[in-house]
Structure 1
Amino acid sequence: MAEPVTADRSHNSIAPGCHWVFGYGSLIYKVDFPFLQRIEASICGWERRFWQGSHDHRGTPDAPGRVVTLMPAPAVICKGVAYLIDQNVFEHLDHREKNGYRQHRVDIRLGSAEPPVPGVVYVAPEDNPAFLGPATSAELAAHIAGAMGPSGSNHDYLLKLADALHALNARDPHVEELAALVRELIHQA
C-alpha cells in the first residue's frame, strides 16, 4: 500500500541516482513500484485527455481501451502526485508505460514549494501508434464503458482516476464529465 502524501520540504536536495516522476493517471492510485517520497504536485502547460489507446492494460489489440495522456495546453495546471524514485525504478515504469508513452522532461511543482524541481513525466504523443485522438464526450464515455483488458475494465480505470483526483482536491473537468457519463451508462445497463 502506498504511503500517504507527504509535504517533506527536503525535496530540493536529492541523493544521486534519484529522480522525481510525475503521475497524472493510474500512477496516482496504482503504485506498484518502490518510492522514497510521495507528494501532491503539479505541472504547468499540460492537460489530461482520454486520447491514448490501451492495447495491453484496459483493452486489447483488436479493441483498445482509452487511457489518459497529456496534451500541451498553455497556462493549464495539471495536478497529480510526484514520486521520488531510485534510478532503477525506471526499468519497471518504462515497461508499465510501454504502449506509446515516452519519458518527457518537465518542471514539477511539489506541493506549494518554490521553485519547481526537474523531473520526468510519461506522455503518449500524437505520433505513437496507439494514439486514438479526440472524440466527443459521449463517444469517449461509450468507448470507455465498453472496453475491457487484462488489467480490468476501462471504466474502472476512469472511475478510480476520478476518485483519486477528488481525494487530492484536483479538479479536472474532462475526467469529471467522463466519469459522470460513464456512471450513467453503467447504471442504465
Structure 2
Amino acid sequence: MSHNTIAINQRMDQFDGHHRVWLFGYGSLIFKPDFPFIERKPATISNWTRRFWQGSHDHRGTETAPGRVATLIAQPGAVTAGMAYLITPEVFAHLDHREKNGYLRLATDIRFEDGGSELGLVYIATEDNAAFLGEASERDIASQIARSHGPSGANRDYLLDLAQALRELGMEDAHVFEIERYLTEMRE
C-alpha cells in the first residue's frame, strides 16, 4: 500500500449518514487536536497497543530520513488509553489529509473513562503500508527520533509531548515512557 491513504479512507462508508462520530486518538491527536470537535473525553480501546513503529515522511521526518510516530499493533488483551473526540463527518477530509502517510480509518469500540462505550473510528497504520518501519528496541527508536525533523517540527517534540499528555491524563504507557527515558539520557 502506498504512503498516501486519502483515497482509501474516502471509500470507508461505515459512518455515512451519521451526523456525529466518535474518533479515538492515541498519538498527537491527544495533545494536538487541530480540528473542530463537539466533545472530548478520555477513553480506551481494547486489543491494541501503541508502538512507535510507523515512519513519518511528511510530519516528523522526511522521505530520506523518516521520523517515528505512533500506530497501534494488534495485541489480544491489551488496552490503549487515549482521547475520544465527538466530531462531524465534515472533519474526515482534514483528518484523512493529516493521517495520509499510511493510516487507515478502522471501526472500533471506544470505552469512555466515565462509563459507556460507542462504536467509533480510529486511524491505524498497519504493517502493509509503505511507511511502516516495524519493531525496534526502545533505545533504537529513541536514537532515530532524536535525529529526525520534518515540516511539523522535531520528532523529539512529538514523543515528549505525547509522554507529557499521557502523564497529565494519568495514563500509563511503558513503551512511550521508556523511549522518553532514552531520549532524555541522550540529551544529557
Normalising by the residue count of structure 2, what TM-score does the alignment of the two structures yield?
0.90
Distance of 2:114 and 2:39 partners within structure 1:
16
Q: Does 1:125 align with 2:126?
A: yes
Aligned position for 1:30:
32
- Structure 2 counterparts to residues 43-62 of structure 1, below 5 A: 43-62=45-64
Any idea what the Cα deviations from partners look like across 1:144-186, whole Å, max 9, x if unmatched?
1110001001110000000000011110000000001101112
The one-letter amino acid of 1:19's match is V
Distance of 1:100 and 1:186 partners within structure 2:
30
State the structure with bigger RCO (CA 8 A, min sep 6), 1 or 2: 2
Distance of 2:57 and 2:113 partners within structure 1:
33
> Over aligned residue pairs, what C-alpha RMSD do you find?
1.1
Q: Does 1:143 align with 2:128?
A: no
Aligned position for 1:67:
69
Any idea what the Cα deviations from partners look like across 1:92-118, whole Å, max 9, x if unmatched?
00000000000011000012413x210
Any idea what the Cα deviations from partners look like across 1:79-132, whole Å, max 9, x if unmatched?
000000011001000000000000011000012413x21000000000000000
Overall identity of the aligned pairs, in %: 53
Runs of at least 4 residues off by over 3 Å: none
Structure 2 unaligned blocks of 5 or more: 1-16
Distance of 2:71 and 2:52 partners within structure 1:
6
* TM superposition shift of 1:16: 4.2
Aligned position for 1:88:
90
Q: Paired residue for 1:41, among 35, 40, 43?
A: 43
Structure 1 unaligned blocks of 5 or more: 1-14
